[in-house]
Structure 1
C-alpha cells in the first residue's frame, strides 16, 4: 500500500514535524533582536561622541541662532495642520537660559556652516557655541594671528597646568593630609604639604592668566577664562580624519574620566571599575560556597526526603525577586553585622558609621547570596552527569572518598562550576534594585582602591553602570543631554558583561580541553 505524502511537508525530516524549523526560527529571531538592540545602542550611544557640525540659522524675522542639529519631528498644531520642527543643541545655557531649541523648519530662511564657529566645553554651564574674536592675557587684548592656532596653544598650556595641579592634589596633598589627620604629625610631612600647597597656588594663578573673547549668534559678547575650559574644537573646519581622531578622544575621555554636571557630562570610569570589582568579589565569594553546597547535596548527604526538600528550596530561592535580597542585605549585613563591627572596632568614631552603612563588601555579599542558587544548581547538574563508574573505579583503586572527590569528581565538574559562575556573573552584573539599598552611590568619583593601607577599601560606596543608567535616564534635569549617555552607558554595560562572560567561557573551554586530554591518556 502506497504511503500518502501530505502537501507542504516535502522538505521536513521524517518523523520530526515542524519543530526543528520552529526552533531554528526562534533562534534566528532572537539573534536578530539582539543585533537590533546592539545596533540601536551603538548608533545612539557612539554617535554622541562624533563632532557634529554647527549651523548658523537665520529665521524669517531676521533673528539668528547657532547650534548643532539633533533630529526632526513631525507634529500637529492645535488646529490639526502638520508641523515639522528641528531640534538644535544651542548650548550657551548661562546666556540664553536653555541649551536646546525647537525651530519650525518652514521659518528657516537660510542655513550656513561657517568654519570660524567653535564649540567650547566648560567645567560649568556646559558647552558654548560661539565665534572666537580675540585673546586676552591678564586683561590685555592681544593681536595674535591666526587666532585659533594661538588659542589652541594657550589652551594646551592651561590643560597641562591643570593636570599638574590635579596630580599634586591627588598624589601629594591628599595622602599627606590623611597622614596628618591620623596623628602622624612630623615636621617633614608639614613642610612637604606647605610646599605642595604653594605650588598649587602658583599653578592656579598661571591658569587664570589667559581668556578668550567670544560672540554668540545673538550678538552677545563674553570673556571666557581658559581656566574654565576643558576642550574646544571647530567642527565645520575639521577634516574627516580629524573628526575621527576627535571621536576617539571623546570616547576615551568617556571611558577614563569621572562624571560631571550631575552625571550628564564627563565619563563613567568609576562606574566601570566599581562594576567589575563588585562582580569579581561576588564571584570569589559565591563560588566556594556554591560548589561546597552542591558537593554536599549530591555526594555526601543522604538522598532522602529532607535532601529533596532542600533542593526544592534552593531552586525556589533562584526565583525570589532581587529587591527582597536587597532588603535582607540591608537588615542583616549593613545594620546587623556592620553595626556590630562599628560598635566593636570603631566606637570612637560613632555615630558616623564605617561598616554600618552601604558599601562594596555588603553589595558583593548580597549579590553572592542572590546568585548562590544558580551556582548550586549548575554544579549539581554537572556532578550528576559524571558516570558512577568513575567514582567506583577511584574507590576500587584504594582512594579515600575525600581523594575521590578532590582528584576525580571536582576536576570533571569544573566546566559545570564555571557554567554556574557565568550565569551568576550575567545576572549579578545587571542587577540594580538590591544595590540601591546596600552600597551603590549616585556619585563616587574616587574608586575604592588606592595606595593607602589596606589598599582595597571594602567599606566605601561605589558606582555601578546599571545604576548609572537608571540615575541618568530618570533623575537627570536635562533629558536631551542625558539620552545619548544612557545609550552609551547601556552599550558599555553589555560590553562589560560580555567580556566577563567570555573570560569565564574561555577558562571553561581550557579546563574542559585539558581534562579531555588527561582522560585520553
Structure 2
C-alpha cells in the first residue's frame, strides 16, 4: 500500500514541485546572503569607529604605545604564530587572538595597518581627545592636537585649538572647491580653446591655406586666451597661497610631533567623543562623499563618482545603439526573411554569439573599432591631430559599441520570440482592413511586441553593465582626469576614456598597493554596482510593465 501511495505521489509531480521550489529558495537565500555580506562589509567602512590606545609589548622586547581602529580579530593557533617567528609559548592554550589595527600615520610608521596579538596588549583605553585626521595624502593620522598656526604664527593651543581647527578646515574646504572649479572648469576651458586653435592652425597648414590674414586672426584669438589665462593664473596663485597658509601641530601617541599643512587635511574628528547622533551625521557625510566625490590615494580614499557616471553613460549609449539594431534584425528574421536553411543558420549563429566569451568581443573591438574604424576616422576627419589619435584610441564610443555587439544577440532573440507570440489573426485582420504590411507591423505588431523588446533590453543591460574584461581593451582606465560630459563643444566627448565600477573593483581589489585599505572599498563599490544595475533594470521593467498594460487589451 505504501509502495502504491509513493508511486502515485511521484506520478502526481509533487516531488518535482518541491524540488524546484527548494532550488528557487536556495538561490534566493544565497543571493540575499551575498548582498548582506557585501553591504555589511562595505557600509561598515564609513562608520567612525572608536580609536583604541594601548600598550603593546612583545615578550623580550620593550613596550610601546600604539593607537588605532580595530578592523579585524581572529583566533589563530599558537603554533602558527610561533612558525611566523613570534616568541609564543606553545605550551599555553591552543589559540591566541590576533587583531588587525588601522594605526594610520603612514608617513611616520611606513604602514598604516598592523597585526598585533591581543594577549600582549594592556592598558586599553579610548581617550576622548584622540584626534583622527583624514588627509589627502598619506592616509589617516591618529594622535593628539597640539596647536594651530597661521603663516608660522601660533593661533591657538590646548582646548581652544580644536574649535579653531574646525573653523579653518571649513575655510580650507571652501578654498579647495574654488581651486577645483578654477582648474577644471575655467582653466580647462582655456586649455580646450588653445588646443582648438593649435588644431585649426595645423589644418590650415595641411590645406596650404595659412595666409598672413588667417595667422593674424589666430594670433589675436590666442592673445585673448592668454590674457584670460593670466588673470586666472593670478587668482589661482593667490588661492593656493591662502590654501597652504595654515598648519596644525599634532603628536602621535608615542610622543612624535609633526607639523601638517591644513591644505592636506580633508576633515578632523574625535570619534571617541562622538555621540550616536554625531556618528550618524558623520556616517551620512562619508557615504555621500563616496558616491559624489573623485577618488584619491590610488583610489583607496575619496569617492567613485566618475566610475558611477562612466558606467551609467556607457550603458545608456549601449542601449541606444543595441535596441534599434537588435529590433530591426529580429523584424527581418521573423517578418520578412524567407524561412529556410539560411535563416535557420543565421538564428543558430545569433544564439551561439550569446555564448562567446566577453574578452573575445574586447579583442574584436580593439582590432576593428579602435584600430581600423577609429584609425580611418582620424585619417579622414582629424588629420591635423596626427600623430596623436582622436578616435584611433580606446574611448567611450568604442566601449559602448563593443558592449552593444556583445548584447545584440540577447535583444534579437527576445524580440523575435515576442514577435512570434503575436497571433496571426491580428496581422490578417489589419491587412483585411486595408493596412499595408508596413503599417500593420508599425501600428499593430511592434506595439504588442514592445514588452518583449524591453525584456531583451533588460537582459542586455544586466549583462553589459557588469562586464569588465572587454572594457579593459576598449576605453576603461584606472583614473580618468575628467568626465566625458562638460561645457566645451561638442559637450559629449565620445573619444574620451572613462572609469567603470566593474574595473574599479578589479583595480582596487587586485592592483592596489594598500590591500587592507582597499578591501572595504571593494565591497562598497560592488554593492553600488549591484544597485546601479538594479536601478537601470527597474527603470526598464517599469517601462515594460506600462507597455504590457497598455496593449493587454489587444491580446484578447
TM-score by length of 1: 0.96
Equivalents in 2 of 1:330, 1:210: separation in Å? 49
Residue 140 of structure 1: aligned partner? 153
1:29 matches 2:26: yes
Secondary structure at the residue paired with 1:103? strand
1:121 matches 2:134: yes
- Deviation at 1:453? 0.8
Which of 395, 401, 405 is the matching residue for 1:369?
405
Q: What's the CA shift string for 1:259-289, capped at 9, x where partnerless?
A: 1111111111111011001110111111111
Secondary structure at the residue paired with 1:230? strand
Q: What's the CA shift string for 1:46-69, capped at 9, x where partnerless?
A: 000111110001124431001000
1:234 matches 2:248: no
Residue 177 of structure 2: aligned partner? 163
1:454 matches 2:490: yes
- Deviation at 1:8? 6.8
Residue 62 of structure 1: aligned partner? 63
Residue 190 of structure 2: aligned partner? 176
Equivalents in 1 of 2:224, 2:376: separation in Å? 38
Residue 360 of structure 1: aligned partner? 396
Equivalents in 1 of 2:405, 2:267: separation in Å? 45
Residue 152 of structure 1: aligned partner? 166
- Deviation at 1:517? 4.7
Pairing 1:54-453 to 2, within 5 Å after superposition: 54-60=51-57, 61-76=62-77, 77=79, 78=82, 82-143=95-156, 145-183=159-197, 185=221, 187-453=223-489
Secondary structure at the residue paired with 1:504? helix
The answer (yes or no) to whether the contact 1:378–1:420 under 8 Å persists in 2 is: yes
Q: Which moved more, 1:510-519 or 1:354-363?
A: 510-519
- Deviation at 1:399? 1.0
Equivalents in 2 of 1:164, 1:209: separation in Å? 16
Moved over 6 A (4+): none
The total of aligned residue pairs comes to 517
Equivalents in 2 of 1:182, 1:389: separation in Å? 60
Equivalents in 2 of 1:4, 1:102: separation in Å? 62
5+ unaligned residues in a row in structure 2: which ranges?
A: 84-89, 198-217
Secondary structure at the residue paired with 2:67? strand
Q: Which moved more, 1:466-475 or 1:163-172?
A: 163-172
- Deviation at 1:445? 3.4
Equivalents in 2 of 1:420, 1:186: separation in Å? 51
- Deviation at 1:24? 0.9
1:41 matches 2:38: yes
The answer (yes or no) to whether the contact 1:258–1:445 under 8 Å persists in 2 is: no
**Could you say if the C-alpha distance between residues 42 and 225 of structure 1 is closer, same or farther in structure 2, counting changes exceeding 3 Å?**
same
**Could you say if the C-alpha distance between residues 161 and 459 of structure 1 is closer, same or farther in structure 2, counting changes exceeding 3 Å?**
same
- Deviation at 1:393? 0.8
Q: CA RMSD in A?
A: 1.8
Equivalents in 1 of 2:445, 2:105: separation in Å? 67
Equivalents in 2 of 1:392, 1:182: separation in Å? 59
The answer (yes or no) to whether the contact 1:359–1:459 under 8 Å persists in 2 is: yes
The answer (yes or no) to whether the contact 1:334–1:356 under 8 Å persists in 2 is: yes
1:510 matches 2:510: no
Q: What's the CA shift string for 1:391-445, capped at 9, x where partnerless?
A: 1111111111111111111011000000000000010001111111111111103
Equivalents in 1 of 2:297, 2:185: separation in Å? 24
Q: What's the CA shift string for 1:311-355, capped at 9, x where partnerless?
A: 111111111111111111111111000111111122222221111
TM-score by length of 2: 0.90
Q: What's the CA shift string for 1:66-114, capped at 9, x where partnerless?
A: 1000111222334665332111000000001110111111111111000
5+ unaligned residues in a row in structure 1: which ranges?
A: none
- Deviation at 1:181? 3.6
Equivalents in 2 of 1:173, 1:159: separation in Å? 20
**Could you say if the C-alpha distance between residues 296 and 143 of structure 1 is closer, same or farther in structure 2, counting changes exceeding 3 Å?**
closer
The answer (yes or no) to whether the contact 1:270–1:445 under 8 Å persists in 2 is: no
